[in-house]
Amino acid sequence: MKTKSYLRLYNLCLLTLSSSILAGELEFNRDIRPILSENCFHCHGPDKETREAKLRLDTREGALKKDAIVPGKPEDSEVIYRITTDDEDDLMPPPEHHLELSKKDIATLEQWIKEGAEYQQHWSFEKPKPSGDGKLREIIDTEIQKYLSKEKLTASPAATRETIIRRLSLDLRGLPPKLTEIDAFIADNSPDAYEKLVDRMLSSPQTAERLALDWLDVARFSDTNGYSIDDHRDMWVWRDWVIHAFMNNKRYDTFLTEQLAGDLIPNATPEQIMATGFLRNSMNTHEGGTIAEEYRVAYIADKIDTVSSAFMGLTMKCAQCHNHKYDPISQKDYYRFYAFFDSATENGKGAKNGNTAPFIQVTSPLHKISDAHKALTERANHIRKLRSDIKPSSNLSKRFHKSLGIELKVIEKQIKDAGKTSVMIMDSPGKRKTHILIRGEYNNPGEVVTAGIPEIFGQLPKNQKADRLALARWLTSKDNPLTARVAVNRYWQLIFGTGLVRTAGDFGSQGEWPSHQALIDTLAVHFQQNGWNLRTLLKEIVMSNTYRQKSNISRRMLEHDPQNRLLARAPRTRLPAELVRDNALAISGKLNPHIGGPSVYPEQPDGLWRQVSHFGYGAFTAQAYYPDVGDNTTRRSMYSFWKRTSPPPSLSIFDAPTRETCTVRRLQTNTPLQALVLLNDPQFLKAAGALATRMINEGGETTTNRIRYAFRLATSRLPKNAELDVLNAAYAREKARFSGDPKATKALIQESGNAGNDADLAALTMISSTILNLNETITKQ
C-alpha cells in the first residue's frame, strides 16, 4: 500500500466539505449504494468472474478486508486514497473506464466511513414496512408533506373543478369528460361530490380499457409475430380477457397468477387458460433456416425478462450469460428461474401462417361474431373493388396480383371461421432437463439445475411442486418483498407520470432510490391487506390532496425541485400516444365506444407495411394494409392492429413502443413531427372536420360561441378573452382566404371528411385543427 500521508490534508478538507454538504446520518441504501454500484461494483461486486484484486465492496465483510474501508477512519481507508489520488496507476475507477466521482460523492463516502461504514441489505429485498395511521389518502399527504417541509416547500392549493375533472377523466378513463359531466360536477355542492365522481369513473368500462392499455405494453401484446416475416396471429381475445379482468376488478394477485399459470390451476376454466396468452405474447419466427432450439431459448429468455421486470422490478436478463454485475443474482439463479418455463410445449420454429402451437380453439363470449363478420366482409369487398379496377394493360406486377388473391382467400376463410378464435396457451405436459447454458449459448449446456427462485429470496415451500403455479403463488405471497411494491409504483406512475421509483423496471442496485420510501412501502402493504384491490388503491391515490393540487410551477419549485419529485404541485404531462388520438376522436364526437373484439385497421400511409416486411408471402406477412371503413376507423387506439415492425405511425411518433419486448415505462419526447401529425395526418384532419361540423350543429349561431364551444370540448374550460380574440382573428383570416379560393376550400373539406364548398366550414375546420393542436389539448395538467 502506498503512503497516504500527503493526502491527509486533502482528505481533511473533504471531511469539512462533507459536513457542510450533508446533514443528518447517512443511509447506505439511499446515499452510498448508488455511488458504489455506479462506480465500483462492476469490478468489485457480486460477479466473481470479473472481480478484481479479490476485493468486494458490495458486502461489509469484503470491504473491510485489506483496509479497503476502515470504519471511523476515512483517512486510513484504501478506498478514499484510490478515488482521490493523482497517480493514474492507482486511481479508481481507472481512467479508461471514463468514470469519475464528484466532490460531493467523495465527501459522502468520507462521512459514511467516519460514521462507521454500516451496510444494509438492499431496500427492495427487505419486506415493506408500513408507516402512519388513518386512511391511506391521508398517509399519502402526510408523507409527501414531510419531504416538502425538509426542502421548505409547501403544497400547492387545490385545482379548479374544471381542471380536476379533466385530470381525473384522462388519468382513469383516458378520455376527456363530457360537458354534461363537467356541469353536473360543478353544480354538485354535496361534501362527497368528488368521491362520487371518482367512484363513477373507476367503475366505468373506459377505465378498464385505460388500465388494459398500460398492461399491453408490459405484456408486449401484438397482432403479429415479429422478426423479419412478422405475420399475423390471433391474440385479441387475450386482450379482451385483460379488459374484462379490469372491468370486473379482478384481484391483482389473481390477475398475475392466471397469466403466469392459469393452465395449471386445478379445474382451470377456458378463461384461465386463455389468460396464459400473456406468456405467449413474445415474438415468434418461422423463417427458413431457423434453428428451433436457439429460438426456443430466446423465447424463454423473453419470458424471464418480462416476468422479472414487470412483476419483480429486477433485471434478471443480466444474469443469462454470467452472474449479475450489480445485484445478488447468479447465473445459476437465472437458470433455476428459467426452469419454470422450460417444460412448456413451445416450438422454437413456429407455424408458417398465423398461430403457433400450442393454442386453443375458443368461442369467445367477449365479442359479437356479427361485428367480426361485418368488418371482414368490408375488407373483402375493398379487395374485390381493387381487383375490378385493375385493367389488362395494368403495369402492376404478377406478384401483386397473386398477393391480392391470397389475401382475399385468407379473408374469406376468416369469414367462414368467424365463430371461433385461436388463443395461444402455455402447457406443461412433458419433462425436460434444464441446464445452465454456458455464456448463454443455446448449444453449450452445463450443470443441470432444478426450478427455483433466486437464492437471495430463500426457497419455495418444500411441499409444493416447483412449477409456474408455485412461482405465481410465491410472487404474490407476503414473503415476496417486490411484487406489491412494483405494482403500486406502476399505478403511481400511471397517475403521476413518474413512479416513486423512477426506474420502474429496476428495483435493484442500479435502479433509482425511491423518492418516498416509507410511502411506497405503505402503499404496498395496504394493497396486500386490502385484497390486492386495484380499484381501492387508485381511489385512495386520486382522493389525496396531493393529487388534487394545481399544476402551476413557481420559481422556488423550479429551483428546488425542477423534476417535481417531491410533488409540491400536480404533474403536467403530455398524453400517451393512444390518448392523443382518442381525445381528438372524442372531442370531435366521432369516437366509436365499442369495447373489445378483433383489431381494426385505421388509416395509415399506403404501402408502409411493404417497406418493412419480408417479401414473398403476400397476405401471410401482413404486407398489404387494407384500411377499415365506417365506424371501425374511429375505435379507440388500443384496438388498432399492432404490427411489431411497423406500429401505427401516428402513435409511434408520440412514443408508442414497438412491443417487441416488455415496456414498463414509456419514454416521452417532444418533436416538431408531433405537431405535423396533429395538423396533417388524415385521421386528425378528419377529426378537425368532424369538430367543425359539431361546432355548427351544437355550438350556437355565432362564430364566437362556436369557437368557445369547441375550446371547452377540448380543454374542459372556457377560453380567456385574449385566447378568444386570437381564435376569432384566425377564423376571419381563414374565411377570407377560402372565400377567394373555392378550389382550396373544396379540397380541404373533402380531405377532412365533409362535403361541399363552404368557406365558413373550411375556416372552422382550420380553427378546429388549431384547437386540437393546442398544448393544453394534448396535455394533462
**Integer Cα distance of 192 and 185 in angstroms:** 11
Can you give the pTM of this predicted structure?
0.87
Confidence of residue 20 (pLDDT cuts 50, 70, 90): very low
pLDDT at 48: 80
pLDDT at 286: 81
Give the tens place of pLDDT for each residue, 307-341.
999 999 999 999 999 999 999 999 999 999 999 99
Neighbours of 611 (CB within 10 A): 10
Evaluate if residue 618 carries a pLDDT over 80. no
Q: Is the peptide bond before 358 cis (omega within 30 degrees of 0)?
A: yes
Give the tens place of pLDDT for each residue, 549-569.
999 999 999 999 999 999 999
**Integer Cα distance of 732 and 730 in angstroms:** 5
For the segment 491-496, the average pLDDT, to the nearest whole number, is 98
Q: Is the peptide bond before 93 cis (omega within 30 degrees of 0)?
A: yes
Angle at which helices 236-247 and 205-218 cross, to 10°: 130
**Integer Cα distance of 454 and 330 in angstroms:** 8
More confident residue, 722 or 629: 722
pLDDT at 441: 96
Confidence of residue 359 (pLDDT cuts 50, 70, 90): low
Confidence of residue 585 (pLDDT cuts 50, 70, 90): very high
Evaluate if residue 386 carries a pLDDT over 70. no
For the segment 285-296, the average pLDDT, to the nearest whole number, is 88
Least confident of 299-303, 306-310, 386-390: 386-390
- Top-ranked range on mean pLDDT: pick from 191-195, 356-360, 642-646: 191-195
Determine phi and psi for 574, rounding to 5 degrees: -70, 145
Closest C-alpha to 407, from 611, 620, 629: 620
pLDDT at 637: 98
**Integer Cα distance of 482 and 56 in angstroms:** 25
Query: Is the Cβ–Cβ distance between 608 and 649 less than 8 Å?
Result: yes
Closest C-alpha to 585, from 603, 570, 599: 603
Evaluate if residue 453 carries a pLDDT over 90. yes
**Integer Cα distance of 229 and 728 in angstroms:** 52
**What DSSP assignment string belongs to 344-406?**
S---SS--SSS--SSEEEE--TTS-HHHHHHHHHHHHHHHHHHHHH--TT----HHHHHHHHH
Neighbour-count burial of 446, counting CB atoms closer than 10 A to its CB (0-12 exposed, 13-18 middle, 19+ buried) = middle
Evaluate if residue 718 carries a pLDDT over 80. yes
| Nine cell digits for residue 461 | 415451500
Evaluate if residue 182 carries a pLDDT over 70. yes
**Integer Cα distance of 395 and 401 in angstroms:** 11
Give the tens place of pLDDT for each residue, 140-174.
999 999 999 999 999 999 999 999 999 999 999 99
Evaluate if residue 377 carries a pLDDT over 70. no
Evaluate if residue 365 carries a pLDDT over 60. no
Give the tens place of pLDDT for each residue, 23-78.
457 889 889 988 998 899 889 988 887 888 889 888 898 889 878 899 999 999 99
**Integer Cα distance of 34 and 513 in angstroms:** 8
Neighbour-count burial of 336, counting CB atoms closer than 10 A to its CB (0-12 exposed, 13-18 middle, 19+ buried) = buried
Neighbour-count burial of 197, counting CB atoms closer than 10 A to its CB (0-12 exposed, 13-18 middle, 19+ buried) = buried
For the segment 441-451, the average pLDDT, to the nearest whole number, is 96
Q: Which residues contact 395 (CB under 8 A, 6 or more apart)?
A: none
**What DSSP assignment string belongs to 648-708?**
-HHHHTTT----SS--SS------HHHHHHHHH-HHHHHHHHHHHHHHHHHS-SSHHHHHH
Neighbours of 455 (CB within 10 A): 13
Confidence of residue 366 (pLDDT cuts 50, 70, 90): very low
b/e sequence 530-549, b meaning 16+ C-beta within 10 Å: eebbbbbbbbbbbbbbbbbb
pLDDT at 615: 59
Determine phi and psi for 424, rounding to 5 degrees: -75, 145
Determine phi and psi for 744, rounding to 5 degrees: -65, -35
Q: How much of the chain, in percent, has pLDDT values that exceed 90? A: 72
**Integer Cα distance of 140 and 130 in angstroms:** 12
First and final CA of the chain: distance in angstroms?
A: 58
For the segment 519-548, the average pLDDT, to the nearest whole number, is 98
pLDDT at 136: 96
Determine phi and psi for 437, rounding to 5 degrees: -95, 115
Residue 461 host element (H or E): none
Evaluate if residue 3 carries a pLDDT over 50. no
Closest C-alpha to 749, from 727, 769, 778: 769
Confidence of residue 378 (pLDDT cuts 50, 70, 90): low
Q: Which residues pair with 573 in a beta bridge?
A: 780
pLDDT at 374: 53
Q: Which residue has the cell 362564430?
A: 703
Radius of gyration of the chain (CA): 29
More confident residue, 426 or 605: 605
Whole-number average pLDDT of the chain: 88
Give the tens place of pLDDT for each residue, 72-113.
999 999 999 999 998 888 899 998 888 889 999 999 999 999
Give the tens place of pLDDT for each residue, 208-226.
999 999 999 999 999 999 9
Domain boundaries of the chain, sorted by first residue? 5-120, 136-202+482-572, 209-359+426-475, 360-424, 679-780
Evaluate if residue 396 carries a pLDDT over 70. no
| Nine cell digits for residue 611 | 417497406
Q: Which residue has the cell 373489445?
A: 596
Q: Which residues contact 554 (CB under 8 A, 6 or more apart)?
A: none
The shares of helix, strand and coil residues in the chain, as percent rounded to the nearest 5, are: 55, 5, 45
Query: Is the Cβ–Cβ distance between 544 and 131 less than 8 Å?
Result: no
Closest C-alpha to 172, from 497, 542, 536: 542
pLDDT at 1: 42
Evaluate if residue 729 carries a pLDDT over 60. yes
Evaluate if residue 620 carries a pLDDT over 70. no
